[in-house]
Amino acid sequence: MSDKHKMTQERWNYLMQPFNGDESVMLTAQELDDGWHWCDEWDGLLIHSDDREFEHCKCDFMKKFRTPERMEKMKQQQALDDKADIDNALGFFGPNDNNEMDGI
């Protein structure tokens, strides 16, 4: 189990348990500050503002996390991932295919 954005998997699982009236299952102020929230766009999935899912988050109260820098970074990551998908689909594994560049 690995920690994500300072939250342990255990803690995440705890926060994602179905609500049964236990009001103590709540994000701390610190966690909210870090960028965690249950996202309406994802049917209440607990996500962090650095998660890929955040790209589709439309929650008003998360506006302060939607900085131009972060959105730009997400777009770039998305582009990289798309490219990786295409490379995999074509069976292209090329970082060592630069030999023909030698001696130019």
Give me the residues that bind Zn ion (CB under 5 A), please: 39, 57, 59
Considering the complex, what minimum distance in angstroms separates the CB of residue 42 from Zn ion?
7
Considering the complex, what minimum distance in angstroms separates the CB of residue 47 from Zn ion?
7
Looking at the Cβ atoms of 4 and 92, the one nearer to Zn ion is 4
Residue 1 Cα to chain centre, angstroms: 17
Looking at the Cβ atoms of 63 and 83, the one nearer to Zn ion is 63
Considering the complex, what minimum distance in angstroms separates the CB of residue 27 from Zn ion?
13
